[in-house]
Amino acid sequence: MSSYTDEQFNILLDTLAEGLLNAKQHYRIFKKLHESLDEYNREIYQHIGFWGWTFDAHLNMAILCLCRSYDKHRDALSLNKFLEIIKSQPNRFSEDINQDELEKDIKLISNDNPLIKKILSMRDKKIAHTDIKLSIEREKEPNLLSFEEIQILIDRGFEIYNKYRLSYNNSRISEEFSGQDDYKYILSNIKIGRTTSQFVLPLITELRERGKLEPNNTINSIIKLIDYIIKCQKKASEL
């Protein structure tokens, strides 16, 4: 096992954290978008070509980051490598490492665990590589991870990582991130624009035809805005 300086170890620590955070962030956005289907059903399904790819991209990226976090390659920075370093260099930590607990954690993310075996099989046959035999015999697709299993792997990764990071420098990484609810802003504005063009413009048009609405700067600005929204929607529908 290579020996690392404190500076090098800190870099490895931060890089490993980044992978776990990316997995959590992408999966959280995927879940929240999925939960938004009831409230924003029309906004999503009206442009399912875009949103469908968006769903898939976040889910696939979450799984890819988990594959990296649980990788077993000897040169890969992963939770497995992280625990091996801890085992070989226990004096790096401010508190004594419980060796029995460390061995349990190593076993928990080993191939003896069916869930770890499952994600590594996905990595080898579908994520990192495209298995020729499986491509031909499509009925024998690798057993895919369920949503519950993805969440278990994310939570387990953070639990193990933060446990030993806390022992190393008395800190934990935050699992929250800036802009995690931006999807709401996007979907709500699409809904507002659609609703505005659907109900407000006909009303203004009708009032003007009846001569009950005198043009002024405010009304003209509203009409220009609604016309712009309609043009954008029309352009999008023609794509």
Q: Say if residues 157 and 104 touch (Cβ distance below 8 Å).
A: no
| Residue 93 within any structural domain of the chain | yes
- Which has the closest alpha carbon to 82: 66, 71, 95, 98? 71
Q: Say if residues 121 and 143 touch (Cβ distance below 8 Å).
A: yes
pLDDT in tens, the chain (239 residues): 677 888 999 999 999 999 999 999 999 999 999 999 998 898 898 889 999 999 999 999 999 999 999 999 889 999 999 999 999 888 887 677 888 999 999 999 999 999 999 999 888 888 877 777 777 776 566 578 999 999 999 999 999 999 999 888 888 887 777 777 888 888 888 887 777 666 666 666 666 666 655 556 566 666 666 666 666 656 555 54
Give the residue numbers spanning the domain of 35: 6-169
- Residues 122, 217 within the same domain: no
| Residue 28 within any structural domain of the chain | yes
Cα atoms found within 13 Å of the Cα of residue 188, Cβ hemisphere only = 5
- Residues 40, 87 within the same domain: yes
Domain C-terminal end among 121, 137, 169:
169
Q: Total structural domains in the chain?
A: 2
Residues ≥6 apart with Cβ < 8 Å to 166: 172
- Residues 121, 227 within the same domain: no
Q: Say if residues 197 and 233 touch (Cβ distance below 8 Å).
A: yes
List, as one string, the DSSP characters of 61-90. HHHHHHHHHT---TT--SHHHHHHHHHH-G
- Residues 15, 124 within the same domain: yes
| Residue 175 within any structural domain of the chain | no
